[in-house]
Amino acid sequence: MDKIIEILQSIRDDVDFDTEDALVDNGIFDSFDIVGLVSELKAEYDIEIPIEDLTPENFNSAETIYNLVERILNED
Amino acid sequence: MSFTSLEFIGFLLAVVVLYYIVPKKYRWIELLVASYTFYLINGIPQIAFIIATTLITYFAAIIMQKRRDRYKAELDAVRDQITKEEKQVMKKTANSYIHTVQVLAVLADLIILAVVKYLGFVLDNVNSVFASFNSDFSLTLPHIIVPLGISFYTFASMGYLIDIGRGKYNAERNVAKLALFVSFFPTIIQGPICRFDEVAPGLFEGHELKYDNLKFGAQLIMWGFFKKMVIADRAALYVTEVFSTGYDKYSGTALFFGMFMYAVQIYGDFSGGIDIARGAAQMMGIELPNNFERPYFSQSVAEYWRRWHITLGAWMREYVFFPIMLSKPVSGLSKKARKVSAYLAKMVPSVITPFIVFILIGIWHGASWKYVAFGLYNAIIVASSVALDPVFDKLNKLLKINTEAFSWRVFRIIRTFLILGVSKILVKAPSLTTAIDILRKIFTEADLNFFKLTQESEIFSIGINPANMLVLAFGVFILFVTSCFQESGIHIRESLAKQNLVFRWVIYIIALILILVFGMYGSAYNAADFIYKAY
């Protein structure tokens, strides 16, 4: 989880990722940021996030992102 | 059949009444019959196109589903007996087959759309090339009437095919149900472009009669009528005249004012039509996605495309932007760029991809070079704002600008609105060359002295007299106030429902009177067809 927040901070250093839960809905992360994040997550965890999982629900908070990564890691 | 016509109201009433009479489990069939009836009313031969797209989409999805089911069954049978590598080979084989089917089917649907909408444009350009070589050779195409909603239902179908290809959900086994998804009459005229898994439950489950659905649906329809008939059709008088081929007669200021009028017209027209579509669906308990969220409050062009024609932007993001940005070629390019700098690694894909997306959005709007220019213009703005983001950041810090301040937000809203005004003129002008000339006139001659327009008598001889302008201004004011409420998170219809009975009914009656009295009828009535209808 800390690693996730570290990656998120590297994209936007002015957001409090412990409390923010509307990253996509509030327009803090746009499509470009999502792509950057997906690349970082791929590099860090060696996972492929399917495009249909690139939804606001999955990317609105550090916690939901963490859950997504966990789910994909456990799928194989 | 136009949305804002008595025929449509009559048709809708009949459909809604019949919906609740028919037993619940057959209600979706009633919707299918209603949708095909609606389609046939709008033109009989064109039904062949939507049936073709539906059948191609249906069979391709079933083929993909069967292959995926076979893969899963085979995997389950040998799961514990084979290695991880063997499992991956099985998966790859299945996916490659599914992907091929998906690509072929999407191409087939796309080719139908392309031939109907764009072949004429392509041939015209080919013929011009021949003509410039003084050749007599020319190709002609028999005149095809564009099938109603072909851009919308084709995109919905392609989205469904790609979703099935990705294994997001199971293919629809019932061809009639898929046909309903593709042809659903509220969405056929101008969208919204729906995702199958989002609307399928609503479409196929028969809904109980609920007073709230009827009430809120009818209110939304009335609101759409207001935006379309009181605001959009009125502004259209000015816009159609001033942005016609006779634009030369008008001053730069008149054209500049026309830009504002067009912004009002296109928003009222398109979002009004969407309101009618969503309201109609809501009356039967079906929820359709929103397509507009106060787009003129956007602070950047990128944000605008998340608030205007939302379902088209979402479609592009899901099926074009993300696949391209996350594809192997682009990731490879990005890795190579990383050797130069991290900034470049981010920039290269972020600059190239908007061009692809926006040119597609541009030509989606129509077969003309002005639409390509429109796409390019938006692409350049979005790409450069991404590329220049660090520069603007430093500039803001240097000038000590408070980016949280309300005044800063207002500045960004106005700036975005004007940037998009240019973009809208590219769309509205009769052609690319006239658009450029109109823009030239505006930039060299226009001033903000709109009051002098009242002295330019030819403007007020085209029907947009001072009385009409006042009604328009009043309409826009109401629209602005409600938009501000919505932007603050207030849901108008729900809030209204909580007010006192007398207050509510006063509002309803005023709204009805406004539409009946101030709706644009008469000679403009038939001519002012929905702008997006021919898409």
- Residue B308 bridge partners (DSSP): B292
- Residues in Cβ contact with B279 at an 8 Å cutoff, skipping those fewer than 6 apart: B216, B217, B218, B219, B220, B221, B222, B223, B224
Q: Is the pLDDT of residue B19 over 80?
A: yes
Q: Is the pLDDT of residue A66 over 80?
A: yes
Spatial distance between the Cα atoms of B219 and B213, rounded to a whole number of angstroms: 10
Higher pLDDT, B517 or B64: B64
Contact between chains at B346 and A32 (C-beta distance less than 8 A): yes
Instruction: Map tokens 């191609």 to a residue.
Output: B56
Token code pair at residue B372: 């390509």
Token code pair at residue B295: 């787009």
Which pLDDT value is given to residue B532?
Answer: 56
User: Read out DSSP for B115-149?
Assistant: HHHHHHHHHHHHHHHHHHTT----------PPPTT
- What distance in Å separates residue B88's CA from the closest CA in chain A? 11
What 3-state class would DSSP assign to B292? strand
Q: Is the pLDDT of residue B526 over 60?
A: no
Among the partner-chain residues B306, B322, B350, the one whose CB lies closest to the CB of A51 is B322
Which pLDDT value is given to residue B528?
Answer: 38
Using pLDDT thresholds of 50, 70 and 90, give the confidence band for residue A32: confident
Which pLDDT value is given to residue B523?
Answer: 40
Q: Is the pLDDT of residue B326 over 50?
A: yes
Q: List Cα–Cα distances, B474 to B140, B516, B518, in angstroms.
A: 49, 16, 11
Q: Mean pLDDT throughout B486-515?
A: 82
Hey, is the C-beta of B166 within 8 angstroms of any chain A C-beta?
A: yes
Which pLDDT value is given to residue B461?
Answer: 61
Per-range mean pLDDT, top range of B150-154, B343-347, B406-410: B150-154
User: Read out DSSP for B443-511?
Assistant: HHH--S-GGGGGG-HHHHTTT--HHHHHHHHHHHHHHHHHHHHHHTT--HHHHHHHS-HHHHHHHHHHH
Higher pLDDT, A73 or B271: B271
Q: Is the pLDDT of residue B342 over 80?
A: no
Cα A68–Cα B288–Cα B269 angle in degrees, nearest 5:
125
Q: Mean pLDDT throughout B381-402?
A: 86
Spatial distance between the Cα atoms of B337 and B53, rounded to a whole number of angstroms: 41
Using pLDDT thresholds of 50, 70 and 90, give the confidence band for residue B269: very high
Say if residue A2 is exposed, middle or buried (CB neighbours under 10 Å; 0-12, 13-18, 19+): exposed
Q: Mean pLDDT throughout B66-79?
A: 92
Q: List Cα–Cα distances, B503 to A67, A71, B493, in angstroms.
A: 48, 52, 13
Contact between chains at B168 and A52 (C-beta distance less than 8 A): yes
Higher pLDDT, B518 or B433: B433
- The interface pTM score, or ipTM, of the predicted complex is 0.92
Say if residue B402 is exposed, middle or buried (CB neighbours under 10 Å; 0-12, 13-18, 19+): exposed
Q: Is the pLDDT of residue B138 over 80?
A: no
Q: Is the pLDDT of residue B460 over 80?
A: no
Mean pLDDT, chain B, rounded, equals: 88
Spatial distance between the Cα atoms of B370 and B479, rounded to a whole number of angstroms: 30
Q: Mean pLDDT throughout B253-274?
A: 92
Q: Mean pLDDT throughout B411-437?
A: 92
Higher pLDDT, B133 or B187: B187
- Residues in Cβ contact with B263 at an 8 Å cutoff, skipping those fewer than 6 apart: B296, B417, B420, B421, B424
Which pLDDT value is given to residue B456?
Answer: 63
Considering chain A, what percentage of its residues have pLDDT values greater than 70? 99
**CB contact at 8 A, B315 and B335:** no
**CB contact at 8 A, B368 and B357:** no
Token code pair at residue B427: 């769309």
Query: Using a CB cutoff of 8 Å and minimum separation of 24, what contacts does B196-202 make?
Result: B196/B156, B196/B159, B196/B160, B196/B163, B196/B169, B196/B172, B197/B163, B197/B168, B197/B169, B198/B289, B199/B286, B199/B287, B199/B288, B199/B289, B200/B172, B202/B281, B202/B285, B202/B286, B202/B287
Q: Name the residue of chain B whose CA is nearest to A28's CA.
A: B303
Tens digits of per-residue pLDDT, B466-499?
Answer: 778 888 888 899 999 999 988 888 888 878 877 7
Q: Is the pLDDT of residue B457 over 70?
A: no
Contact between chains at A32 and B163 (C-beta distance less than 8 A): no
Say if residue B244 is exposed, middle or buried (CB neighbours under 10 Å; 0-12, 13-18, 19+): middle
**CB contact at 8 A, A38 and A68:** no
- What distance in Å separates residue B319's CA from the closest CA in chain A? 9
Contact between chains at A32 and B323 (C-beta distance less than 8 A): no
Q: Mean pLDDT throughout B399-420?
A: 88
Which pLDDT value is given to residue B535?
Answer: 58
Among the partner-chain residues B168, B317, B346, the one whose CB lies closest to the CB of A31 is B317
- What distance in Å separates residue A32's CA from the closest CA in chain B? 7
Contact between chains at B349 and A31 (C-beta distance less than 8 A): no
Per-range mean pLDDT, top range of A72-76, B386-390, B422-426, B493-497: B422-426
Q: Name the residue of chain A whose CA is nearest to B324's CA.
A: A35
Using pLDDT thresholds of 50, 70 and 90, give the confidence band for residue B348: confident
Q: Name the residue of chain B whose CA is nearest to A24's CA.
A: B306
Model confidence, pTM: 0.90
Using pLDDT thresholds of 50, 70 and 90, give the confidence band for residue B527: very low
User: Which residue blocks in B292-445 are alpha helix, DSSP H?
Assistant: 301-307, 310-316, 322-325, 328-338, 342-365, 369-387, 389-398, 406-428, 432-445
Using pLDDT thresholds of 50, 70 and 90, give the confidence band for residue B349: confident
Query: Using a CB cutoff of 8 Å and minimum separation of 24, what contacts does B474-483 make?
Result: B475/B226, B475/B230, B475/B231, B475/B234, B475/B514, B475/B518, B476/B231, B476/B264, B478/B226, B479/B227, B479/B231, B479/B268, B483/B294, B483/B296, B483/B297
Contact between chains at B326 and A35 (C-beta distance less than 8 A): yes
Q: Mean pLDDT throughout B206-234?
A: 92
Considering chain A, what percentage of its residues have pLDDT values greater than 90? 18
Contact between chains at B318 and A30 (C-beta distance less than 8 A): no
**CB contact at 8 A, B113 and B65:** no
Quick one: three-class SS letters along B308-324?
A: ECHHHHHHHHHHHHHHH
Per-range mean pLDDT, top range of A24-38, B180-194, B494-508: B180-194
Element (H, E) at B37: helix B27-41
Using pLDDT thresholds of 50, 70 and 90, give the confidence band for residue B534: low
